[in-house]
Structure 1
Amino acid sequence: MTGTTRSSADLDPRRRRILVRAWRRGIREMDLVIGGFADAEIGSLDESELDELERLMAEDDADLFRWVTGEVETPERFRTPLFDRMRAYVPDFEPVRSHTEGQAGKS
């Protein structure tokens, strides 16, 4: 996946900016999480949810990554239904081990 699969043609300027920012995070994993969430939900978010999403996107990507993966506890101010919905877009970041990798070293 290289970026958004959603057209921004039907979006207002604010939503277009958010969609672009969601896919240009700086950490590829956060592109996938926030970008995937934005692709799916940007058209239906109300103004307060857009405000909240922009506040989230202003946070450091490394912190966001640790929060969405559960590595560290999410700060109280971001424990919201919107954050929970965004967290649902976390792909499996664990590398897939091949069958032969699991057999390495066994005789």
Structure 2
Amino acid sequence: MTEPRDIRLKRLAMRSMRRGIKEMDVILSGYAAARLPGMSDPALDTYDGLLSENDHDLYAWVCGTATPPAPLADLIADIRDWISVNQRT
């Protein structure tokens, strides 16, 4: 049985805000709220896979201190772009 899109979006949003480290909670919950509703199903598949990654690795990729794996590079770049536009000063 296929997961309905609205349920999938809610699940991904919840997983985005319940991470292992607070920094990733803040980053991914904001990103999810802004971007998930407009994502295609293949993009949601990639995001779902990203949520299975270790928070410390994710944080390093988002901060640019480590290179993300090729399948996640475009998504990480989009998260970085979203942060640069939406960061609070």
Compute the TM-score of the two structures, normalised by the length of structure 1. Answer: 0.69
Q: Secondary structure at the match of 2:38?
A: coil
Distance 1:33 1:89 in 2: 9
One of 58, 78, 85 as aligned partner of 1:85: 78
CA distance in 1, matches of 2:48, 2:73: 15
Please give the alpha-carbon distance, in whole angstroms, between the structure 2 residues aligned to 1:73 and 1:18: 24
Residues 19-38 of structure 1 mapped to structure 2, 5 A cutoff:
19-38=13-32
1:53-77 deviations in whole A, cap 9, x for unaligned? 0011100000000000011112222
Contact in 2 for aligned 1:19/1:38 (Cα 8 Å): yes
> How many aligned positions are there?
82
Report the CA distance shift for 1:83/1:68 in structure 2 as closer, same or farther (over 3 A).
same
Uncovered stretches (5+) of structure 2, i.e. residues with no partner: none
1:43 paired with 2:37, answer yes
Structure of higher RCO (CA pairs closer than 8 Å, 6+ residues apart): 1
What does the per-residue CA deviation read over 1:1-53, in whole Å, with 9 as the maximum and x for residues that have no partner? xxxxxxxxxx7101000001101111111111111110101111110010000
Which ranges in structure 1 are unaligned for 5 or more consecutive residues? 1-10, 93-107
- Take 1:42 and 1:78, find their aligned partners in 2: how far apart are those partners? 15
Question: How much identity, in percent, do the aligned residues show?
Answer: 33
- Alpha-carbon distance, 1:88 to partner: 2.4
CA RMSD of aligned residues (A): 1.9
Aligned position for 1:75: 69
- TM-score for both structures, normalised by structure 2: 0.81
Q: Distance in 2 between matches of 1:88 and 1:31?
A: 17
Equivalent residue, structure 2, for 1:12: 6
Equivalent residues of 1:25, 1:31 under 8 A apart: yes
